[in-house]
Structure 1
Amino acid sequence: MPEDVLFKSESDRDRAEIASLLRRVADNLDAGEAITLTAGSESVTLEPPARPTFEVKAEREGPADGPGELSVEFELEWDETDEGGESDGALEIE
């Protein structure tokens, strides 16, 4: 299935700014509200269902024998016509 990127933003931010953005997403999810992403003139509003699939991934990219780039990705996923997926285990984040 082809991917259609609706919105993308990438910028260096300090940890407090990132935490504030993630907190805003968390607050909207908790309240059952839509999430609007805006950067410059680009904007998209998404309405996650009550039970979207939540994926967490930690990665190292780069050469196997040297330092690379580390990342952690948080992804909410759902079918546009579906109400969400099933849980496959308990996730904890410390």
Structure 2
Amino acid sequence: MPEEVLFESERRQQRTEVADYLRAVADKLEAGSSITLEAGDQSVTLEPPGDVEFEVKAEREGPTDGPGELSIELELEWDEHRSGSDDGSDGSLTIS
């Protein structure tokens, strides 16, 4: 399936700034509100449904015998025209 990038922003930031962005997304999700992403001349508004697929991934990229780059990826995904609820729970996630 082809992928269309609707918005992209990447830059180095302080941890506290990243936490502010994550809190803003969490607040919008909790309130059931749409989420608008803006950077420069880019802007997109998305309306996540009541339940979404939530993927959490920790990765290490680089040589196996040397230092690499570590990342935590958080992804929310849903079908564009989906309605209703699907509890496809396959285990609980803990983040601490």
Place the TM-score, normalised by the shorter chain, in its bin. over 0.9
Once residues 3 and 62 of structure 1 are traced to their aligned partners in structure 2, the CA distance between those partners, rounded to angstroms, is: 25
Which residue in 2 is equivalent to 1:45?
45
Which aligned pairs between 1:1-94 and structure 2 lie closer than 5 A?
A: 1-83=1-83, 85=86, 86-94=88-96
1 or 2 for the larger relative contact order (CA 8 Å, sep ≥6)? Answer: 1
Once residues 53 and 27 of structure 1 are traced to their aligned partners in structure 2, the CA distance between those partners, rounded to angstroms, is: 18
Any gaps of 5 or more consecutive residues in structure 1? none
Any gaps of 5 or more consecutive residues in structure 2? none
* Structure-1-length-normalised TM-score: 0.96
Once residues 39 and 81 of structure 2 are traced to their aligned partners in structure 1, the CA distance between those partners, rounded to angstroms, is: 27
* Structure-2-length-normalised TM-score: 0.94
User: Runs (4+) of structure 1 moved beyond 3 Å?
Assistant: none
